[in-house]
């Protein structure tokens, strides 16, 4: 009798561990309104390129040089439709299959950068890092307190003490992407074309291959959390660049925006665009964003420099950077509390399912539909 009770209790506990759904409260966001958590200056630890076929290249072949030869604004005339018939666009199905693999490729080639003084000369046992992910995932979490319509699905796996995180496309994002009109795709391509105009030595008559990329890998620390993440970056101001860089202070982020002709346009820039630009640049320590203001036909008429450190005040209190950074800090703490099973095949799913809702965590176990670490990585990474 007693034995049966004990059996049942064990089973209940096991099922509880699996079925448990824990919530992380997003709102009221005011509870994150205190002194901004400290993000240590992100340090450059390496880089890689993706070629025109999105193949990993352990080099700087796609690093662009972007001269910034003006102080605050400059009149130009850049027709972003030039060479539009020769554009090669990204295949999103390939991107989704790749998951973290480009960053994992870099980690495999750069094991030596993760040796500590204690384990020098011995086979690597761990990366001594709390989190590994892409910058875009961190940006999405930063913006979450203000992005009430955004749903997120983040999967996390713990392997040798490090939590790997990958952001899955939500059903809404997938539907929106598949419903994109030719007009919308063209506007996306305008952004790439603008980069081509701004890049030293490029040929404007050439179509842009939107698959090629240059990414930096950075190491940083947010309060108690150590982070390694990669970020695709637009390029570097050749006047300020030294190779290899210590950090991304010489780098430049490029953006396009429609000309601010109405009060509504100004408000949209302050409230949404600047928040995204700030998050993206702050996370990697890029100090400068150059924006090309374009008309509705895709002709950029002026360039304007935005200093990243000034963006929170330009945001006119539509968003507060301290709330965002404190939210990210607490969210990462929540992830650490939940992701406890150390096994490269086990997955936890963090999801915000409803508009303006909270983020729930669910233990999925070995669910291959949501797995994020490929076996070639975890079999190879710590092998002698």
Task: Give the start-to-end residue ranges of the domains of the chain.
Answer: 10-380
Q: Is the pLDDT of residue 78 over 50?
A: yes
| Reported confidence tier of residue 2, pLDDT bands at 50, 70, 90 | low
Residue 11 pLDDT: 44
Question: What is the pLDDT averaged over residues 253-277?
Answer: 95
| Reported confidence tier of residue 14, pLDDT bands at 50, 70, 90 | very low
Tokens of 25: 């409260």
Whether the CB-CB separation of 170 and 137 falls below 8 Å is answered with: no
Cα angle for residues 115, 116, 121 (degrees, 5° grid): 60
Q: Is the pLDDT of residue 93 over 70?
A: yes
Residue 5 pLDDT: 56
Whether the CB-CB separation of 111 and 124 falls below 8 Å is answered with: yes
Q: Is the pLDDT of residue 15 over 80?
A: no
Question: What is the pLDDT averaged over residues 289-304?
Answer: 97
- Nearest Cα to Cα of residue 218 among 226, 208, 228: 228
Residue 21 pLDDT: 80
379 phi, psi to nearest 5 deg: -80, -30
Q: Is the pLDDT of residue 345 over 60?
A: yes
Residue 117 pLDDT: 78
pTM above 0.75, yes or no: yes
Question: What is the pLDDT averaged over residues 324-339?
Answer: 98
DSSP SS3 for 205: coil
Residue 354 pLDDT: 85
Question: What is the pLDDT averaged over residues 249-253?
Answer: 98
Whether the CB-CB separation of 152 and 171 falls below 8 Å is answered with: no
More confident call, 146 vs 13: 146
DSSP SS3 for 173: helix
Whether the CB-CB separation of 158 and 341 falls below 8 Å is answered with: yes
22 phi, psi to nearest 5 deg: -110, 140
What number of other Cβ atoms are within 10 A of residue 368's Cβ?
A: 8
Residue 332 pLDDT: 98
What's the chain's Rg over C-alpha atoms?
22
367 phi, psi to nearest 5 deg: -105, 105
* Averaged pLDDT of the chain: 92
- Nearest Cα to Cα of residue 251 among 222, 284, 298, 279: 284
Q: Is the pLDDT of residue 18 over 70?
A: no
Q: Is the pLDDT of residue 4 over 60?
A: no
Whether the CB-CB separation of 296 and 258 falls below 8 Å is answered with: yes
| Reported confidence tier of residue 337, pLDDT bands at 50, 70, 90 | very high
């Amino acid at each position: 009798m007693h034995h049966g009770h004990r059996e049942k209790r064990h089973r209940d506990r096991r099922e509880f561990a699996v079925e448990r759904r824990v919530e992380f409260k997003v709102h009221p966001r005011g509870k994150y309104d205190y002194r901004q958590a400290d993000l240590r200056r992100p340090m450059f630890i390496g880089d890689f390129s993706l070629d025109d076929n999105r193949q990993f290249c352990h080099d700087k072949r796609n690093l662009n040089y972007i001269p910034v030869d003006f102080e605050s604004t400059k009149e130009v005339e850049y027709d972003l439709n030039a060479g539009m018939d020769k554009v090669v666009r990204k295949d999103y199905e390939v991107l989704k299959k790749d998951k973290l693999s480009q960053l994992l490729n870099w980690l495999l080639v750069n094991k030596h950068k993760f040796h500590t003084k204690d384990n020098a000369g011995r086979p690597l046992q761990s990366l001594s890092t709390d989190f590994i992910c892409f910058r875009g995932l961190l940006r999405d979490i930063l913006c979450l307190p203000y992005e009430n319509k955004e749903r997120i699905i983040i999967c996390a796996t713990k392997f040798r003490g490090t939590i790997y995180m990958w952001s899955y496309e939500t059903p809404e994002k997938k539907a929106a992407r598949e419903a994109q009109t030719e007009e919308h795709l063209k506007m996306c391509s305008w952004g790439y074309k603008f980069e081509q105009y701004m890049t030293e030595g490029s040929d404007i008559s050439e179509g842009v291959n939107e698959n090629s990329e240059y990414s930096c890998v950075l190491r940083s620390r947010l309060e108690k959390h150590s982070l390694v993440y990669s970020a695709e970056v637009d390029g570097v101001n050749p006047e300020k660049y030294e190779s290899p860089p210590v950090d991304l202070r010489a780098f430049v982020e490029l953006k396009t925006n429609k000309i601010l002709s109405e009060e509504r346009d100004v408000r949209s820039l302050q409230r949404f665009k600047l928040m995204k630009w700030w998050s993206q640049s702050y996370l990697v320590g890029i100090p400068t964003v150059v924006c090309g203001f374009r008309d509705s036909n895709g002709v950029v008429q002026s360039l304007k420099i935005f200093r990243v450190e000034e963006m929170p005040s330009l945001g006119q209190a539509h968003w507060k950077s301290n709330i965002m950074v404190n939210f990210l800090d607490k969210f990462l703490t929540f992830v650490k509390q939940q992701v406890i099973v150390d096994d490269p095949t086990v997955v936890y799913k963090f999801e915000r399912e409803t508009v303006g809702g909270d983020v729930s965590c669910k233990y999925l176990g070995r669910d291959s539909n949501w797995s994020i670490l490929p076996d070639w990585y975890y079999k190879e990474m710590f092998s002698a």
